[in-house]
Amino acid sequence: MSQKPTQVRVAWHCTCFNARRAARAVTEFYDDIMAPSGVKATQFTMLGAVALMGPASVTHLAEHLALDRTTLTRNLKALASEGLVEISEGDDRRERVVALSDAGHTALDRATPLWHQAQDRLIARFGEERWRRMIEDMGDLGALAEEIGADA
Residues that bind DNA (CB under 7 A): 20, 24-25, 27-28, 31-32, 40, 42-43, 57-60, 67-71, 73-75, 78, 87, 90-97
Of 100, 107, 84, the closest CA to residue 36 belongs to 107
122 binds, among DNA, its own copies, none (CB under 5 to 8 A by kind): its own copies
- Phi, psi for 72 (deg, rounded to 5): -65, -40
- If the CB atoms of residues 28 and 89 are measured against its own copies, the closer one turns out to be 28
* Rounded Cα distance, 40 and 61, in Å: 18
CB of 87 to its own copies, least distance (A): 20
Q: 67 vs 123, which CB is nearer to DNA?
A: 67
70 touches its own copies by CB under 8 A: no
Would you say how long the chain is, in residues?
Answer: 152
* Residue 29 binds which of its own copies, DNA, none (CB < 5-8 A, kind-dependent): its own copies
125 binds, among DNA, its own copies, none (CB under 5 to 8 A by kind): its own copies
Q: Which of 74, 98, 121, 128 lies at the binding interface for its own copies (CB under 8 A)?
A: 121
Among 37, 39, 48, 61, binds its own copies (CB under 8 A): 48
Given a contact cutoff of 8 angstroms between Cβ atoms, the answer to whether 42 and 99 are in contact is: no
Q: How far is the CB of 6 from DNA (least distance, A)?
A: 23
Order of strands across the sheet with 56-57? 56-57, 96-100, 85-89
Q: Find the binder of its own copies among 11, 36, 83, 88 (CB under 8 A).
A: 11
* Neighbouring C-beta atoms of residue 138, cutoff 10 Å: 13
| Cα–Cα distance, 152 to 150 (Å, whole number) | 6
Q: List phi, psi (to 5°) of 87.
A: -115, 120
